[in-house]
Amino acid sequence: MSVVEVERPAGGVVVLRLNRPERLNAINRELLDGLWAAIADIRRDAGCRVVILTGAGRGFCSGADLLAPPGEAVAPGDEQRRRLWRRGRPELAASAGDRGRERSGGRRRARLRPRL
């Protein structure tokens, strides 16, 4: 079972699903690495027009996994935002959380605009 599932339900559409429902899709090193690898694959796909980022289970993403063992913990922050925008086109335009209740930095990041 992969912590980031990639589906292609229709032409030009890719669904990235965070798949750690037992931890409310909390971000650890494995999930973050899997997400960046999936994004790199999508960037090479000239036919991709839409990327949907969602989470398995009852929540989109609870943020950083605070219970991750040392070496697996990550602290998403400014470097992660810079890495998204340094790539050119934005990967995320909006996020669909659990009935709109996502309250973490993920929703804030979805509204970021690149600095020109």
Phi, psi of 108 (to 5 degrees): -65, -40
Better pLDDT: 66 or 107: 66
Per-residue model confidence (pLDDT) at position 92: 54
Total domains, the chain = 1
- Please check whether residue 115 lies inside any domain of the structure: no
Per-residue model confidence (pLDDT) at position 114: 44
Which residues form the domain of 47? 4-110
- Please check whether residue 80 lies inside any domain of the structure: yes
Top mean-pLDDT range of 10-14, 107-111, 112-116: 10-14
- Please check whether residue 116 lies inside any domain of the structure: no
Beta bridge mates, 14: 51
CATH number of the domain encompassing residue 41:
3.90.226.10
- Please check whether residue 29 lies inside any domain of the structure: yes
Enter the pTM of the model: 0.70
Per-residue model confidence (pLDDT) at position 84: 58
- Please check whether residue 25 lies inside any domain of the structure: yes
- Please check whether residue 20 lies inside any domain of the structure: yes
| pLDDT reading at 88 higher than 90 | no
Give the closest residue to 14 by CA, choosing from 65, 48, 43: 48
Kindly report, residue by residue over 27-51, the tens digit of the pLDDT. 898 998 898 899 889 888 889 888 8
Which residues does 41 contact at the CB level (< 8 Å), separation at least 6?
A: 6
